[in-house]
């Protein structure tokens, strides 16, 4: 299996705790087809062959196995027959103006990613962790002015192994829903159509859409550029699972690539325990 996470000792400890935790049987996922709630701001229609676990439950389980949690985590969706997962994390940062939509400089943004990553490698070295290096865009930042969605994917390497971060930012009236696809780089192309189909079932609730902005609503202090470079850092810093491999500095700026080892399989293991069907990792 491709290595897409960098803390085998933590992963092993988590999986050991998972296998031994009897409370896992108390957690009940929602199996599709179903409409599930993503916090109080959005909902998602999941088809048959997928299951959903709400953010509170995922956080409870992460605490049970001694792992960090996220206040903004509103849910996780995974297929029953593949090792990939989708994490949904909402940040009530406010209404993000999209007046930078025609000014996004992919090359400049890539350099900011690269600079932040190399700076963070100094801290990683002090902690005895392997360096991470930016390779380039898998998907350069792209903003859809009709759907108000921001999409980007970046590739990196660590110890000769590929790392892929694929993110979608869904802009709403009161904040941003960050959607992270967790998948091995070699499986990205094959997985993307299924992910895109799944996201077709996403919608903000009435009163929460970007188009329903009203004068007097909270305005975010960051634009699209900072959302690309810094928003990922903010979301990942809150989502402790991804922060395992990260060192963040200068809020809203200088994001580093986040390396994750078989994390989709890790979530599959979690869900297996939740379903009461223990699987071999």
What pLDDT is stored for residue 136 in this prediction?
Answer: 92
13 vs 138, residue with greater confidence: 138
pLDDT digits (tens, 9 = 90+) for 34-46: 999 999 999 999 9
Using pLDDT thresholds of 50, 70 and 90, give the confidence band for residue 146.
very high
What pLDDT is stored for residue 255 in this prediction?
Answer: 45
Query: By percentage, how much of the chain surpasses pLDDT 70?
Result: 70
| Residue 152 to residue 26: CA distance in whole angstroms | 36
| Residue 97 to residue 62: CA distance in whole angstroms | 34
Assess whether pLDDT exceeds 70 at residue 262: no
What pLDDT is stored for residue 268 in this prediction?
Answer: 56
Q: State whether residue 224 is helix, strand or coil.
A: helix
What pLDDT is stored for residue 213 in this prediction?
Answer: 97
Using pLDDT thresholds of 50, 70 and 90, give the confidence band for residue 270.
low
Assess whether pLDDT exceeds 80 at residue 220: yes
Using pLDDT thresholds of 50, 70 and 90, give the confidence band for residue 123.
confident
Assess whether pLDDT exceeds 70 at residue 279: no
What pLDDT is stored for residue 164 in this prediction?
Answer: 85
Buried/exposed code over 36-55 (b: 16+ C-beta within 10 A; e: otherwise): bebbebbebebeeebbbbbb
What pLDDT is stored for residue 15 in this prediction?
Answer: 37
pLDDT digits (tens, 9 = 90+) for 44-92: 999 999 999 888 887 787 677 665 677 889 998 989 888 888 989 999 9
112 vs 69, residue with greater confidence: 112
pLDDT digits (tens, 9 = 90+) for 86-101: 989 999 999 999 999 9
- Strand intervals (E) in 33-186: 34-38, 42-46, 50-54, 73-79, 85-91, 133-144, 149-158, 161-171, 176-182
Assess whether pLDDT exceeds 90 at residue 117: no
pLDDT digits (tens, 9 = 90+) for 153-196: 988 888 888 888 888 999 999 999 999 888 888 889 999 999 99
Domains and CATH numbers, the chain: 8-274 (3.40.1000.10)
**What residues pair up with 77 in beta bridges, in sequence order?**
52, 86
> Is 216 in contact with 95 (CB distance < 8 Å)?
no
232 vs 141, residue with greater confidence: 141
Q: Are strands 149-158 and 161-171 parallel, antiparallel or unpaired?
A: antiparallel
Assess whether pLDDT exceeds 80 at residue 143: yes
pLDDT digits (tens, 9 = 90+) for 10-30: 333 343 444 445 455 556 789
Q: State whether residue 104 is helix, strand or coil.
A: coil
């Amino acid at each position: 299996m491709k290595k897409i996470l960098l803390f085998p000792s933590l992963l092993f400890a988590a999986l050991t705790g998972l296998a031994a935790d009897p409370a896992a049987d108390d957690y009940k996922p929602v199996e599709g087809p179903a409409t599930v709630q993503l916090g109080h701001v959005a909902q998602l229609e999941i088809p048959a062959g997928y299951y959903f676990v709400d953010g509170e439950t995922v956080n409870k389980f992460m605490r049970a196995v001694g792992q960090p949690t996220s206040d903004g985590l509103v849910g996780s969706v995974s297929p029953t027959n593949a090792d990939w997962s989708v994490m949904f994390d909402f940040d009530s940062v406010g209404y993000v103006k999209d007046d930078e939509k025609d000014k996004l400089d992919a090359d400049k943004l890539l350099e900011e990613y690269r600079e932040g990553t190399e700076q963070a490698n100094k801290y990683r070295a002090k902690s005895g962790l392997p360096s991470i290096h930016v390779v380039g865009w898998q998907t350069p930042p792209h903003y859809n002015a009709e759907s108000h969605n921001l999409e980007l994917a970046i590739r990196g390497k660590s110890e000769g192994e590929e790392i892929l971060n694929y993110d979608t930012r869904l802009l709403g009236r009161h904040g941003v829903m960050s959607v992270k696809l967790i998948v091995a780089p070699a499986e990205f192309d094959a997985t993307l159509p299924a992910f895109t189909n799944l996201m077709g079932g996403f919608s903000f609730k009435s009163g929460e859409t970007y188009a329903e902005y009203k004068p007097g609503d909270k305005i975010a202090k960051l634009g699209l550029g900072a959302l690309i470079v810094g928003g990922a850092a903010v979301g990942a810093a809150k989502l402790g699972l991804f922060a395992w491999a990260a060192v963040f500095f200068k809020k809203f700026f200088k994001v580093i690539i986040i390396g994750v080892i078989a994390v989709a399989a890790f979530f599959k293991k979690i869900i297996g325990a939740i379903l009461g069907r223990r699987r071999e990792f």
